[in-house]
Structure 1
């Protein structure tokens, strides 16, 4: 394992994850992928074991840990052949809630979340906006003690199966703000109370993403469910996005290591022309190259987690998070292609799981932030080059 627990408590929690993954093995994930089914039984067990409450404060029944442990859990799921996509949204959303939810939200909802209620979805992306979050058009108007929300969201993951959703809307139109990053507000939507004002259409994708398009018209959210200050939501999203990128990086390190392990195992066992194919340099070198890259990334990623735990400034954390996400997505994709080449036709066959993992990995080169946008971040914020957009 390239990412290791740092103490006995982390070891104990990660051993619980390993036991869970013995039940929900590669065959389970292959079946869910082929049927395009939401893994509700896995998720229920995940929550029942308390793994969903890692980022919820202890005073509300949670574990009270941080992004580091959440990242290790996601890494472990993928390393065992699972698909942590179905729980990572819960983690980065609860990270945001733990930092920015007010006292009333904490008292009303945190114990439910610690006891298994699911905060899986972030309703952010819009069809005409993409990555330019400041241009979102979903609008929330104050009416009495509620906000009434109208808008259109797309690629909202897992929302059909969630209990709570964090929704991003403008409370001040773009044209009326002095700074384009102002006027955006975050709302916690309790979907257990009903989905009046929301229509959903599932979007079928190349892997089992369970993503939806949402049409919102007349959705009422109590004023007390605003997260943080009205109009300051964009700045809270920055905290969420850094946490998200660390977690995505951990997931992709898990996938990359899984691909390498599969490639090594197959290369040692496959015999052609009376020789193990692993003895051929044409097989050895691609595995060795991607593994060397993976070792380097893991070291950098762990350095970033230490900076996060030490409370370094937002810019430093953002640098680590973005570079880690970029490298992890690239290396995992390369590792998947190496495994596919070494397996040959068997890699293309559904039963080995290589093609499934490769499809799942490809997502993270375009989402939740594209690789080019991360490169633009590195160029401007780290290297000091002029902003390109």
Structure 2
């Protein structure tokens, strides 16, 4: 089906990103995966390309208000090329919006220009050992001491912390109330160089090899009170406000990966000969890929609707939950079927389908599990 979500400016931007990937990412991506992260200077190159500061006001070096569709184009082109830009999506698509919405004027002057240039990278530390999706169970404590916070605790499954200069950390600044377990949480920006802060371990994942995922420890970390982001005790409200965009972005990524898997598999079954005939000539192959194509287009239509709603400022949590649920579950099914058509070769990392299979699995977990998405959707139905 013809997509109508993009205009000429988006397609011109797509051409720039496609050429950039072909020249500067594809030739070295295997090295990045072996290293477990992209080179730090690569993000400064992204700053030169102008893709780190979407929505940053012009007075801080950014382009001003920018449609999320441009970030969607980047996701689609990364999937098409079979590459990833490390924790770019977390930095620009997830954490930056918190600063744009919540930072004081002093904080914006201090941080935004470096974020636009790539001199300052961002990550966010929410999850803790044993908490999972239950943010109310956070135990990392920030105690006020004069004009500073003293932070003690631990975080896990944190993306991009080994490269990031600024880590937005969810801390408990006061006890929960009897009626609200989520009360008393605050967002505090911690500079990686602070004494007592440590990336204690880098986790070895089954996928997303070019993006580091870490465990963090905070031992008496002293941070200026001026690093409080937003209102003290209101972290849960701040986090919730950003979740629809985050979940839309995950739906975009998952659907882009499913589209790439379908394209790779069509090429493979056309070239592959089995029992003296092209694999594409078998009825089973035709039926499987026809089903995959229909599922991917259905998911894409939902994603495109979400992009339009986001542009209009009307994307609500239940809509975003539907997009993430359908996008990620569809990608899981489609990529699994595509790998099956590759036979044994699908299990070998030399073939793009193997990386897509490993990378897509986590999309049903991070940003809220599929089960959490179903709960949100059910609640919107009055259940």
Uncovered stretches (5+) of structure 2, i.e. residues with no partner: none
- Matched with 1:323 is 322
Q: Is the 8 A contact 2:10 2:69 kept in 1?
A: no
Tell whether 2:21 aligns with 1:53.
no
Tell whether 2:75 aligns with 1:74.
yes
Gap change, CA 1:333 and 1:30, over 3 Å in 2: farther
Shift of 1:96: 1.6
Q: Deviations over 1:290-319 (max 9, x none)?
A: 21111111111111221222122xxx5212
**Structure 2 counterpart of 1:303, from 294, 305, 308:** 305
**Structure 2 counterpart of 1:223, from 207, 225, 234:** 225
Q: Structure 1 residues 68-77 or 109-118, which shifts more?
A: 68-77
CA distance in 2, matches of 1:162, 1:25: 20
Q: Deviations over 1:243-274 (max 9, x none)?
A: 21111111111111110000111111112233
Shift of 1:360: 0.9
User: Partner of 1:53: helix, strand, or coil?
Assistant: coil
Q: Structure 1 residues 194-203 or 149-158, which shifts more?
A: 194-203
Q: Is the 8 A contact 1:125 1:133 kept in 2?
A: yes
CA distance in 2, matches of 1:348, 1:359: 10
CA distance in 2, matches of 1:112, 1:264: 43
Deviating beyond 6 angstroms after TM superposition, the runs of 4 or more aligned structure 1 residues are 1-5
Shift of 1:35: 4.5
Shift of 1:25: 4.9
Shift of 1:162: 0.7
1:241-280 residue pairs with structure 2 within 5 A? 241-280=243-282
Q: Is the 8 A contact 2:272 2:278 kept in 1?
A: yes
CA distance in 1, matches of 2:179, 2:299: 40
1:1-389 residue pairs with structure 2 within 5 A? 6-26=6-26, 28-40=28-40, 42-64=42-64, 65-84=66-85, 86-91=87-92, 92-174=94-176, 176=177, 178-191=179-192, 194-200=193-199, 201-207=201-207, 208=209, 209-312=211-314, 316-381=315-380, 383-385=381-383
Gap change, CA 1:269 and 1:2, over 3 Å in 2: farther
Shift of 1:168: 0.7
Q: Is the 8 A contact 2:194 2:222 kept in 1?
A: no
Q: Is the 8 A contact 2:125 2:167 kept in 1?
A: yes
Gap change, CA 1:150 and 1:86, over 3 Å in 2: same
Shift of 1:216: 0.5
Shift of 1:140: 1.0
Q: Is the 8 A contact 1:170 1:184 kept in 2?
A: yes
Shift of 1:177: 5.9
Q: Is the 8 A contact 2:170 2:188 kept in 1?
A: yes
Q: What's the Cα RMSD here?
A: 2.1
Shift of 1:169: 0.7
Shift of 1:93: 0.5
Shift of 1:37: 4.1
CA distance in 1, matches of 2:249, 2:85: 10
CA distance in 2, matches of 1:127, 1:59: 40
Question: Normalized against structure 2, the TM-score is what?
Answer: 0.92
Gap change, CA 1:37 and 1:87, over 3 Å in 2: closer
Q: Is the 8 A contact 1:3 1:72 kept in 2?
A: no
Q: Is the 8 A contact 2:52 2:116 kept in 1?
A: yes
User: Partner of 1:96: helix, strand, or coil?
Assistant: helix
Shift of 1:114: 1.2
Shift of 1:16: 2.1
Question: Normalized against structure 1, the TM-score is what?
Answer: 0.91
Gap change, CA 1:63 and 1:211, over 3 Å in 2: same
Uncovered stretches (5+) of structure 1, i.e. residues with no partner: none
Shift of 1:9: 3.3
Gap change, CA 1:41 and 1:353, over 3 Å in 2: farther
Q: How many residues align?
A: 378
